[in-house]
Amino acid sequence: MALLDIRGLQTWFDTRAGTVKAVNGVNLSIQPGETLALVGESGSGKSVTAYSVLRLIEAAGGRIAGGEVLFKGTDLLKLDAAGIRAVRGNRIAMIFQEPLSALNPVQSIGTQIVEALRLHRDIGLRAARERAVELLELVRMPSPRERAEEFPHRLSGGMRQRAMIAIALACEPELLIADEPTTALDVTTQAQILALLRELQQRLGMAMLLITHDLGVVAEIADRVAVMYAGRVVEEGAVGALFDRPAHPYTRGLLDAVRIEALPPGSRLPEIPGIVPSLLDLPPGCAFAPRCGRASAICQAELPALRAIGVGRRHACCHPHLEPVPA
């Protein structure tokens, strides 16, 4: 049984201009111990999907209009407030995109870890404080006992991200959701954080849902990847197979845009023409059709469903690429 099984998830935002269908029928699953990367352009629905899993979307003005989010067989969307609080931060934890915004500015790092521990564990204050220091040491925070007394604004970006990871891991979750965990960091710190996440995942045996737009990060840390476009998953598969033989034209466009080393000297970087359609007014049929050089009349009339193309591979395209990416 899958650890997390998302079925037909729909998350919408009601605005004065109309209903924004940010997530519109997403199907995903994550196995125990697996890393699934969710990739796509900004606004494709990646983070909204993650926030929907933990039922945090209502605080952002959204609503879950349909679907199921099964965690070990239990539909998280049907839990009451107390039920989802027992899961959130305990069995499923999240690393947010911007730690300075996510961390409490008026509490020390150690206090925030202690709160997470005591909320979900039967542990005394003194033991929780010692465990907080141990967690900071686990995430390789320099001088962990001293840093536990620091406030977020006194830490560097890399240290704040390590503090966020320590809080997320406090209760040893079965699933960690990492929303763009390295976006605001310099290249060296990015590499350190990715290596840390990979090491901690292997040590603790947890699964991870990694939200990112960086295909280099995907290649380095993920087992499988799902590509989102305009609120839907358009392709999914093992990282190596999908990178070598992307079927959906959008996936191929994303990969072509980062294969700089394969370009002849002086040539222009490939780009995907056009812009992402408004989620207020999606075109009929395939949302990518207006930007796709392979589109035909059927693409503009029918919404393609995800279909299997071998073991563990799916795509939603009427005219997929069948040939591998040129070497």
Which tokens hold the place of 159?
């240290």
pTM over 0.85: yes
Beta bridge partners of 92: 88, 175
Instruction: Report the SS3 class of residue 200.
Output: helix
In the prediction, which pLDDT does 8 show? 97
In the prediction, which pLDDT does 266 show? 64
Strand pairing class (62-71; 4-15): antiparallel
pLDDT digits (tens, 9 = 90+) for 287-300: 999 999 999 999 99
Query: Model confidence at 310, in pLDDT bands (50, 70, 90)?
Result: confident
CA-derived radius of gyration, the chain? 21
Portion of the chain with pLDDT greater than 70, in percent:
96
pLDDT digits (tens, 9 = 90+) for 43-69: 899 999 999 999 999 888 899 999 999
Domain ranges of the chain: 1-91+207-326, 92-172
CA distances from 21 to 59, 65, 257 (A): 17, 9, 27
The rounded distance, in Å, linking the Cα atoms of 44 and 55 is 19
In the prediction, which pLDDT does 29 show? 96
Query: Which parts of 129-241 are beta strand (E)?
Result: 175-179, 207-211, 224-229, 232-238
pLDDT digits (tens, 9 = 90+) for 138-182: 999 999 999 999 999 999 989 999 999 999 999 999 999 999 988
DSSP output for 101-124? HHS-TTS-HHHHHHHHHHHHS---
Instruction: Report the SS3 class of residue 261.
Output: helix
- C-alpha closest to that of 25 among 223, 297, 228: 228
Say if domain 1-91+207-326 classifies as CATH 3.40.50.300: yes
